[in-house]
Each structure stands twice: as structure tokens, then as C-alpha cells.
Amino acid sequence: MSNEGAGPGGLLFVVSAPSGTGKTTVVERLVEICPNLHRSRSYTSRPPRPGEADGVDYNFISRSAFEAMVAREEFLEWADVFGNLYGTARRDTEAALAAGRDVVLVIGVQGAHQVRGRVSGTVGIFVLPPSFQALETRLRGRCQDEPAAISRRLETARSEVSAVDAYEYVVVNDTLDQCVAELAAIVTAERARRTRRQREVNGIVKTFEER
């Protein structure tokens, strides 16, 4: 599957970050301010946390339903994260891109690696917390997980951060506004690539041709 060139297909952005970095909030704000950018809603076998709703935060499904989707090869990518299964439905993403919409996936580093191998032209953005200590403070502060789960997430964060070199862009989530503004700038810059606007460019250049 190709995501490059001057065709009508949309752009695929993949945003990864260690959990607790605030990437979900950041990307929610991003899609609010960027026209024609759509966030793909992942499927997960994890039960909803307080305040999370099915079809809003995730499509929450049972482990057996998830495994059936895997067997039917319905996922563009999927991964086991902290013992729960998470995946991006192939159909949703391909339909949006084919319709010329730009899509943003918020997925872990394993999933991002799979997507990169399957969709050429994927734009990877890694959201880094300002430091390990800042991430730890945030995770403990949100009080959503048991201390043992927090320690596990922090350990995972160490290996996730080591995958940063595979991404085209890095944004440090220091303040929310600045982080969202940088992400929007990346989207704008990627959309402005000459190769992606070739048809439009050709049309304009043509108006300059001597008669």
C-alpha cells in the first residue's frame, strides 16, 4: 500500500509515545484544529477505564473477538501491550486514505513498525516527555493505575524511547499548546511537499506558459 506521490490518497501519520506522555490529548487537539485530519479509533481487548467510552476512546471488544479479527487479517497492525491487545482496523484506515483524507494513528512502537513496513510514505512522529522523571510524575499523578502497573509502564517507556530513531519527527510534550502547534506544523509541512502537490503545481505552472 502506498501513501506517497501526487495521487488523491491521504497522508498517514503515526504518532507514538510512552504512555503518560499525553499523546491522546495532544492528538485530540490536533484533529480539532487541522481540517481533513482524522484520528483512527483503535480496537482493544483492554477493559475501559473510568470515564472512557466505547466508540469514543477505543472500540472495546473481547479478547476472543479481537483474536477473530486477527485470524481474518482485519488489522493493519496490532500489538500486545501490557498484556492487552490493541489494533488498527485495515478497512477503516484504507477507506479514509482512499477517500483522500489524512489519517493519524496513535499507536505503540511495535505497531508503528508494522505500519511502516506495510504503508510506504508513512510519516512517523514521536512525542517525547521532557524527561523520565517528568513522565514518572505524570503517571503517578493521574492515579489511573496501580503502582505495579505504573512501574511496568515506566520500564516499557525505557525501551519505547529507544525506538525514537525510526521516526521522522520528534516533538517534546512540555506544554500542551506548544506541542499541538508543532504537530500542526508537521502536518502542514508534509501536505506542502511538492511531490504531493504535483497535480496542483502542474496546473499553476501551465498558466505561466507562453502562448
Q: Does 59 contact ligand 5GP by CB under 6 A?
A: no
Amino acid at 33: I
DSSP state of 33: H
User: Rule CB under 6 A: is residue 124 a binding residue for ligand 5GP?
Assistant: no
Give the closest residue to 21 by CA, choosing from 108, 107, 134: 134
Rg (CA), the chain: 18
**Residue 107, interface with ligand 5GP (CB under 6 A)?**
yes
Check residue 106 for interaction with ligand 5GP (CB under 6 A): yes
Q: Which residues, at least 6 apart from 184, have a Cβ–Cβ distance to it below 8 Å?
A: 30, 33, 34
Is 111 a binding residue for ligand 5GP by CB under 6 A? The answer is yes
Is residue 88 within the footprint of ligand 5GP (CB under 6 A)?
yes
Q: What residue has cell string 477503516?
A: 92
Site for ligand 5GP contains 12 (CB under 6 A): no
What minimum distance in Å lies between the beta carbon of 25 and ligand 5GP?
Answer: 12
Q: Is 180 in the site for ligand 5GP (CB under 6 A)?
A: no
Cell numbers linked to 169 = 519527527
**Is residue 86 involved in binding ligand 5GP (CB under 6 A)?**
yes
Among residues 9, 87, 124, 129, the one that binds ligand 5GP under rule CB under 6 A: 87
* Residue number, 9 or 108, with CB nearest to ligand 5GP: 108
Where in 53-92 does DSSP place strands (E)? 59-60, 75-81, 84-89
Among 4, 29, 110, 193, the residue binding ligand 5GP under the rule CB under 6 A is 110
C-alpha cell, 37: 485530519
Helix/strand/coil for 162: coil
Which spans of this chain sit near ligand 5GP (rule: CB under 6 A)? 19, 42, 46, 77, 79, 81, 86-88, 106-108, 110-111
